[in-house]
Amino acid sequence: MAANVTLSPLGQFLRSPSQWSVDSSPITALVAGLAVVLTSAFFLRLSKSDKVYDLGGIPVLTAWNFFKKRFDFFQAHFKKSNGKMFRFRHRVVAVAGEQGRKAFLNDQSLDMTQGYKILFGGVPRLEDINIQTRTGEPDSRAFVNRLLSLLRKERVADVLPVLLDDVHNRMLDWGTMGRINPFKEVYDLVFQMTVRMATCRELAEDKQAIEELRRHYFNIEQSTTPVAVLLPWFPGQARKTREKATLGLYLLIRKFVTMRRKAKVPSSDPIDVFMENGDSDEVIISTVMGIMFAGVVNTGVTACWALLKLATNPKWKERAIEEYTALVTKHSNTLSTEPLHKRLASIPLNAWEDELPSVDLVIRETLRFTVSGSLLRRNVQKDIVVDGVTIKRGDFMAYPTFEAHMNPDIYSNPESFDPDRYLEGRGEDKKELFAYVAWGAGRHPCAGMKIAKLEIKLVLALVLLGYKYDLVNEAGKYPDILPEPDRNDLVLGMPLGEPCYLKFERVKE
C-alpha cells in the first residue's frame, strides 16, 4: 500500500524535524535545516550509471529550480544529459523519449497521487491543518469514483442550462463594451462553473463566498515556494499563508456542508450526492477542494488561451464562429427572441460533444501549446527497470510534457498554432506512442476530460457568438509581440511580458 512507502533518508530528515528532537523555534529549525542541507550531499551518494545522468550537488540547491522554474529546470538538464534520463537527490528520476513515456504512463507500480502529493505543492490538503480523511480506500481511486458520480451523462445534461445561466450572469458584469483581463474574468467564468459542478446551489449563487474561495486558492498557489515544498516543516511565512488559506477553505465549505445536512428537503446537488453515499464532512470537504483545484487549473487556463489564440488566428476564429452558428441553427428555434444563453441551453449534450470538430481541434492545439508542466509519479510497489535504469520502490519519476508537445520531430513547427496538425493524413500526435498527453494517457487518462471540454466550449460559444473582441495591449493596440505562456507558471499559465487584454463589444443579448 502507498501508506507504507517510506521517504528517502533525506526526505524523512527534512520533513519531520520532530523526530530528531529539535524545538520548533524558527532559528533552531533553520540551523538544523542548514546542517542537513550541507551534510546530505555526503551521505546520499547515487551510484554511477551511463544510462542516467546524475546531477549531484547539494540536494536542496540542485532541486531548487525544479520547484521554482520547472520548465527551465527540465530544459537545462535534458540539454546537459543529451536527452537521456537524469536524476537528482530527492530520488527523482526525469524521463524522456517514447520508451520513457511508455513506462511512465503504463507501469502499475507508479502512483499518481503519491507523486503529486509530495512534489506538487499547489494542491490544498486537509492534512496541512491536521484533519484526517482516511476512508480505507486508496485516495486516487476514491477521488475518481466520487468525481465520476457527478459526471454521469444525465446529471451533466440536467445542469447544462444552469451552467449557461451562471456564465451569462457573470458576463453581464462586464458591461456592453470595454476590455477585460482574460486571466481574471474568463478564469472566473470557469471557476463559477466548477463551483456549481462540485458543491451546491447555495454556494454557487453566493458571489461573496465564491470570491472568498477564489482568494483562498490564489493564496495557496502563491505560498507554493521552493522552501515550502522542500522544507514543509519550516515555520516560515509561506507555510503560515498556506495553512491560513487551507483553513479558510475548510471552514467555508464546511459551512455549506452543514447547511445541506440540516436541509429538510434533499437535492441532487453534489454535496447531497456525497452525503447520500455516506461520506463524512471531512471526506466531502476534501473531495470538493480537490475537484475545484483540478477543474479550475487546466480548464480555466485553456479557456483563456483559446480565446487569445483565436484572436491572433482569424481563420480559426471564423471557423469556430461558423460552427457554433450552425449548431444553434440546427438545434434551436431560429425565430426565437430568447437571449443567446437560453438558445444555447436547448442544444443537447451529445451535440456539444460531437458536432464541433473545429472547436475540438482548437482546444486540442491550445492544450498542446500551454500544458507544459510535468507529470509526476511515485513507485509504490517494487523496483522497476526503465530503459536500463532501476527505479527503486519509493523513488519519484517526472515526465515534462513539453518533451513531446514541443518536439519538432513529432510536431512540425511546434511553436505555431496549427489545429489542422491532428487531422487524418497528418496525424502528428500519432507519430509516437503517447505523443499527446494533455488529457493524461495510459493508466491515468483525465477523468474530467468531457466536462472540462464542455465548460471550455460553453465559454467560447458565449464569447464568440455574443461579442466582437480583439486582442490588445496596455495601450489598447494590437500587441507588437504576441503573448506566449510562461511555462514555469504551473498553475495560472499567465503570459510572459506585457499584460494583454480582450477589447470587446457585446453584439447579441
pLDDT score of 423 more than 50: yes
Bigger pLDDT: 326 vs 18: 326
Q: Is 232 a residue whose pLDDT tops 70? A: yes
Mention every residue, 6+ apart, whose C-beta is less than 8 A from residue 250: 126, 129, 131, 285, 289
Continuous segment of H or E residues that includes residue 470: strand 467-472
Please classify residue 363 by burial: count the beta carbons closer than 10 Å to its beta carbon, then call 0-12 exposed, 13-18 middle and 19+ buried.
Answer: buried
10 or 467, higher pLDDT: 467
Whether 324 is covered by a domain: the verdict is yes
What is the pLDDT at residue 44?
A: 41
In a domain, 41, yes or no: no
Determine contact, residues 104/110, Cβ cutoff 8 Å. yes
First to last CA, the chain: 55
Q: Please check whether residue 331 lies inside any domain of the structure.
A: yes
Report the pLDDT value the prediction gives residue 24, as an integer from 0 to 100.
42
Q: Which residue has the higher pLDDT, 310 or 24?
A: 310
**Is the pLDDT score of 310 beyond 60?**
yes
Task: Assign 3-class secondary structure to 153-189.
Answer: HHHHHHHHHHHHHHHHHHHHCCCCEEEECHHHHHHHH
pLDDT, tens digit (0-9, with 9 covering 90-100), for 196-225 = 999 999 999 999 999 999 999 889 888 877
Q: What is the model's pLDDT at position 33?
A: 52
pLDDT at 50: 63
CATH code at position 465: 1.10.630.10
The total number of residues written for the chain in this structure: 509
Over residues 365-381, mean pLDDT: 91
Answer whether residue 46 is part of any domain: no
* 186: in domain: yes
Note the pLDDT tens digit of each residue in 143-164. 889 999 999 999 999 999 999 9
pLDDT in tens, 8-28: 333 433 444 433 333 444 554
Report the percent of the chain where pLDDT is more than 70.
Answer: 88
The DSSP code for 320 is H
d(CA 270, CA 23): 44
Q: What SS3 state is found at 396?
A: strand
Coil, strand or helix at 466:
helix
What confidence tens digit (pLDDT) does each residue in 86-137 have?
Answer: 888 668 899 999 999 999 999 999 998 888 877 776 678 888 888 876 654 4
Task: Residue 476: count other Cβ atoms within 10 Å of its Cβ.
Answer: 10
Cell of 486: 510562461
Average pLDDT estimate for 49-55: 76
Mean pLDDT, range 244-272, rounded to an integer = 96
Q: Report the C-alpha gap between 354 and 349 in whole angstroms.
A: 9
The answer to whether 446 is a known ligand-binding residue is: yes
What pLDDT is recorded for position 444?
A: 86
13 falls within a domain = no
Domain-embedded: residue 66: no
Range of the domain at 168: 129-339+354-369+456-506
Considering the domain boundaries, does residue 412 fall inside one? no
Domain count, the chain: 1
**Model confidence, pTM:** 0.88
pLDDT value of residue 298: 83
The rounded mean pLDDT for the chain is: 86
Count of beta carbons in the 10 Å neighbourhood of residue 311:
20
pLDDT of amino acid 114:
83
- Tell me: pLDDT of 375 over 70: yes
